[in-house]
Structure 1
Amino acid sequence: MQKSRYLKNLDAVIAALIGWFILSLFFRYSGVGISPDSIMYTSAARSFKGHGTLLTFNHVPIVDFPVFYPIYLGIISFITQIDPVKFGAVLNGIMFATLIFTSGWIMEHFVPASRIYKWLMLAAIILSPPLLQVYSYLWSETLFILEILFFLVAFREYLLKHTLKALIVAAIIAAVSCITRYAAVTIVGTGGLLLLLDRVLPLKKKITHIIVYGLICISLLVSNLVFNAFVTGTTTGPREPSITPFSKNLYYFGTVMCDWMGLTPNQYWAATPLAIIIFLGFIAALAFNYYRRKLDSFENLAITFALVYGAFIVLSSTFSRYERINHRLLSPLYISALWGYTSWALLLLKKLNNSTTRRIVGAVMVVLMLGFITSEFLIDKARYNDQVADEYGNPGYTDESWIDSEFAAYLKGTDHSLFKPGVKIYTDAHEAVYFFSGMSSYLVPHRFFTKDIDKFYKVKHYYLIWFNVLENPELINLKDIQKVKNLKKIKDFGEEGAIYEYESEP
């Protein structure tokens, strides 16, 4: 029986190895992708490894992001004595393989289970463009998506047994997830919603379990936020109000779903209706499972999480300003949404009594799924051609444009005598300055924060490192500064940018 159990998951092991290999193809040219967020994480991880603190490259505590992912990188760096940027490709490969294997293990416990369905889903996960993109970078989503699956496993164990021990295990996973990504409050919400809908527990026991679950889930997050408020005065860093209404965010959600379904931008007219249908479908499926008293299945857990997470992203984008809803933001939704919108096929086939009809319907579903997988493959192939075959790399600070950059080469040089000690350095991309030179700098103010702008203009002596290619419309720009201050150009890099100095007259 033990051997049979291992053989059941042999296909998941093989799929995991294939997934690791495919992901490694995107690391061939320039290694793991490095974005501004990646630099924030790695600088805090280096601080944790070297000094036991979580200071970023600006010598301030990391507050824009939760603390666990930098701690995770720092612990691995301490054990291996290898920098996160160098081990990032291997680490992400291991996590992606673990994600695929865990997905396979979960599908082995679907009711009803199907070997063909499992193989098709594993292929879709392996070739998923959003997942391959996320796992190509040093991003906290790589850990968060894995934590989601671990939570589904743990919470299903609770729904089957209703023991306090199982609940505590699930709550601990949720708590750790909350200090990996702030969006992990959706994991807490998923468990909380299912606890409320559960009709097995007596009312008194249910209340006790909800309280225990809630307290454990929020414990680490509250500690993180209190610490942030104590050391910086803000719980999650400066946040601007949203500039996109609910209808626009619903549309953006729909455009991502269109991309995942293999549609082109020409079909974006269907984005909002598609988003509405998807949310209504999740709600209807959850209501149906509640009516059937089938809340303890993996399929229902996936549907519930997809509903809660999707709604959270759309609503939070309506009230708080951050990057537009995109593939990265919705990547944690991919596997649960995939299961939610395909697992019903297994129930349908089971209910078909006529074997011929069942074979025909099953064949049609397989063909549709193969078409979906093929569209994923074509997207991945195009990305591989652009980033690997054409020798460009993952877009970010390790791609070809920065490898060939004169500006980056100068900052990487050991001679920084151009900068006088004690004089502040400002820039429009402080993470780039740190990544290439190791120097700390200050970001020029956001347009929204007028007090910060006034404070910046009162500085009497500073250097300004300006990257033309990284200009951020949310920050004051070079022309804005030159209207107020007489900047002296001390190093010119042509179209790439320049280094300036400002010193007020005595």
Structure 2
Amino acid sequence: MDKLKNYDTLLFAAIAFYAIYLFTSYSGIGISPDSIMYTSAARNFVANGNLHTFNNIPIVDFPVFYPFFLGVISFISQTDPVKFGAVLNMCMFATLIFTSGWIMSRFTPASHIYKWLALAAIILNPGLLQVYSYLWSETLFILEVLLFLIVFRKYLLTHAGKWLVFAAGIAAVACITRYAAVTIVGTGGLLLLLDRQLPIRKKVSHIIIYGLICISLLVANLTFNALHTGTVTGPREPSITSFSQNLYYFGSVFCEWIGMTPNMYHTFALPLAIIILVGFIAALTFNFTRRKLDSFENLAITFALIYGLFIVLSSTFSRYERINPRLLAPMYIPALWGYTSWGLLLLKRIADRRVRMAVAAIFILMMLGYITQIYLIDKKRYNDQIVDEYGNPGYTDNDWMESEFAKYLKTIDKGMFAPKVGIYSDAHEAVYFFSGMSSYLVPHKFFKKDVEKFYKIKRFYLIWFNNLENPELINIKDIQKVKKLKVIKQFEEGAIYEYDSQNQN
């Protein structure tokens, strides 16, 4: 049976590899605006030894490690990230599944059937399949979460300083992969505080060592950002969603993951969010009273709780994309473990064999029902994006590949733009992706001084995409009210304009 621990996990890892192959088989790796930021910084790392984006400023909105990671692979392989991205994600998703299986083989108690069901649920989760179909930093961050759980559990079992330093090192790297990795730091810090086996003096020293190592790289990254750009994480706007709204969005993601239809979200999303978070709090409290903090299951519960609360609270104070499956993908595996592994303990405590078999059968049927439900969601996405030949939504899907404007940008004569005259756009990453040209994003409406500064520019070019309406940016109608724009090239999907104050009548 020991061999089966590895062979069955390898089989699921191979299935995971193939799943990402399927979802990237038509148009390659999915490319979003974030992907282009990562890619341009990686290309600059290879070409110039820095992590500047396409507009020649240091990457600030995102931490530096993921583009550095892509840059190192690109340098070694002499291949562009967009070209190797699909294969990289196939390998990373397979590694994630193998690591998950390795961890579940060490649950107490462990069960092969439970592991198989859980691995199937992980592979088929729509959120994870989406994340690993795109060139996104979550692909690396989710793997770092599991590696941290493995190493930090080793520390909890031994209280050896070397394992504490190793775990803190993983957390430090994770913090410059995703800023949300402060939740990994919080997971370890909370468990250190709750650990009753550590003498007070040793606990204090370990917390200090752990904290200093964890935040070291993040502090260096943020300090660099502040010195070179004047902001630590780029310009941030205050949130426009309340705590209750964010709880609802949080719950709606889990409603989606368990197969509910959107018309059911209004009824179930908010209660489900509360049940999930309160349940994790109750489970952590229960484990603390039983002095059972060193299990993988408890580590998973602790991380899922802290990560979930962080996303809801940070969304309440700072504006970024609405809570969605991509944002919550890092907590899916820990949450799945937290809400299913208790079944193994329950079965262990049932003395009557027939009752135990009946309960096990009910549990298996519930898991199979859930797996079937998410499989149908994945099948629909596969039919829409691969069978119907549309591609992963983003800059490599059919809408963009068949766009006359995008085709024009790919072959544009850069000499048509006067030297040293700024180029602006409502999608500067799209301009770079299709033409290779640097441009600047038109200002956000919220930042009034930036808007005023933009309107004072005496000459500029404007590349505008009609189908990318962003309500947070000043739009083309706003600009035309203030500036008389000259059309250089017009398309159905957008246009290229020029403004020159000297030619205004």
Is 1:135 matched with 2:135? Answer: no
For the residue of structure 2 that corresponds to 1:463, the secondary structure is strand
For the residue of structure 2 that corresponds to 1:417, the secondary structure is helix
Cα displacement (A) at 1:416 = 2.4
| Alignment correspondent of 1:293 | 291
Aligned equivalents of 2:372, 2:187: Cα separation in 1: 32
1:294-344 deviation digits (Å, cap 9, x = unpaired):
100000000000000000000000000000000000000100000000000
Kindly provide the amino acid, as one letter, of the partner of residue 300 in structure 2: A
Kindly provide the amino acid, as one letter, of the partner of residue 288 in structure 2: Y
Aligned equivalents of 1:343, 1:458: Cα separation in 2: 61
Aligned equivalents of 1:96, 1:244: Cα separation in 2: 33
Kindly provide the amino acid, as one letter, of the partner of residue 169 in structure 1: F
| Alignment correspondent of 1:246 | 243
* 51 and 6 in structure 1: CA distance in 2 versus 1, 3 angstrom threshold: farther
Kindly provide the amino acid, as one letter, of the partner of residue 212 in structure 1: I
Aligned equivalents of 2:123, 2:245: Cα separation in 1: 31
For the residue of structure 1 that corresponds to 2:498, the secondary structure is strand
For the residue of structure 1 that corresponds to 2:244, the secondary structure is helix
CA RMSD of aligned residues (A): 0.8
For the residue of structure 2 that corresponds to 1:103, the secondary structure is helix
| Alignment correspondent of 2:496 | 499
Cα displacement (A) at 1:417 = 2.8
Q: 2:120 aligned to 118, 123, 129, which one? A: 123
Alignment TM-score, normalising by the size of structure 1: 0.98
| Alignment correspondent of 2:484 | 486
Is 1:187 matched with 2:184? Answer: yes
Q: 2:158 aligned to 158, 161, 169, which one? A: 161
Structure 2 gap ranges (5+): none
1:391-445 deviation digits (Å, cap 9, x = unpaired):
0000000000111010011110052232122211111000000000000001111
Cα displacement (A) at 1:456 = 0.5
Cα displacement (A) at 1:459 = 0.7
Aligned equivalents of 2:83, 2:3: Cα separation in 1: 34
Is 1:53 matched with 2:50? Answer: yes
Is 1:97 matched with 2:99? Answer: no
Aligned equivalents of 1:368, 1:71: Cα separation in 2: 42
Structure 1 residues 370-449: aligned runs within 5 Å: 370-449=368-447
Is 1:26 matched with 2:26? Answer: no
| Alignment correspondent of 2:222 | 225
Aligned equivalents of 2:19, 2:190: Cα separation in 1: 37
Q: 1:338 aligned to 336, 339, 354, which one? A: 336
| Alignment correspondent of 2:207 | 210
For the residue of structure 2 that corresponds to 1:59, the secondary structure is coil
Cα displacement (A) at 1:5 = 4.5
Structure 1 residues 260-271: aligned runs within 5 Å: 260-268=257-265, 269-271=267-269
Cα displacement (A) at 1:262 = 1.2
1:10-69 deviation digits (Å, cap 9, x = unpaired):
111110001110111011110000000000000000111111101000000000000000
| Alignment correspondent of 2:80 | 83
Cα displacement (A) at 1:264 = 1.1
Aligned equivalents of 1:7, 1:280: Cα separation in 2: 36
1:65-84 deviation digits (Å, cap 9, x = unpaired):
00000000000000000000
| Alignment correspondent of 1:42 | 39
| Alignment correspondent of 1:469 | 467
Q: 1:200 aligned to 172, 197, 200, which one? A: 197
| Alignment correspondent of 1:304 | 302
Aligned equivalents of 1:8, 1:210: Cα separation in 2: 35
1:448-506 deviation digits (Å, cap 9, x = unpaired):
00101111011111111000011211000000000011001110102x01111110027
For the residue of structure 2 that corresponds to 1:235, the secondary structure is coil
| Alignment correspondent of 1:280 | 278
Kindly provide the amino acid, as one letter, of the partner of residue 296 in structure 2: F
Residue correspondences, number? 502
Is 1:450 matched with 2:448? Answer: yes
Aligned equivalents of 1:304, 1:72: Cα separation in 2: 28
Structure 1 gap ranges (5+): none
1:241-290 deviation digits (Å, cap 9, x = unpaired):
00101010001001011111111112111111111111110001001111
For the residue of structure 2 that corresponds to 1:9, the secondary structure is helix
For the residue of structure 1 that corresponds to 2:460, the secondary structure is strand
Single out whichever of 115-124 and 420-429 deviates more from structure 2: 420-429
Is 1:110 matched with 2:140? Answer: no
For the residue of structure 2 that corresponds to 1:309, the secondary structure is helix
For the residue of structure 1 that corresponds to 2:238, the secondary structure is coil
For the residue of structure 2 that corresponds to 1:341, the secondary structure is helix
Kindly provide the amino acid, as one letter, of the partner of residue 108 in structure 1: S
Alignment TM-score, normalising by the size of structure 2: 0.99
Kindly provide the amino acid, as one letter, of the partner of residue 458 in structure 1: K
Is 1:10 matched with 2:7? Answer: yes
| Alignment correspondent of 2:173 | 176
Aligned equivalents of 1:43, 1:395: Cα separation in 2: 20
Aligned equivalents of 1:419, 1:221: Cα separation in 2: 39
Kindly provide the amino acid, as one letter, of the partner of residue 471 in structure 1: E
Aligned equivalents of 2:97, 2:43: Cα separation in 1: 29
Aligned equivalents of 1:226, 1:394: Cα separation in 2: 36
Kindly provide the amino acid, as one letter, of the partner of residue 505 in structure 1: Q
Cα displacement (A) at 1:198 = 0.2
Kindly provide the amino acid, as one letter, of the partner of residue 116 in structure 1: I
Cα displacement (A) at 1:6 = 4.4
Q: 1:152 aligned to 129, 149, 158, which one? A: 149
Aligned equivalents of 1:391, 1:153: Cα separation in 2: 40
For the residue of structure 1 that corresponds to 2:110, the secondary structure is coil
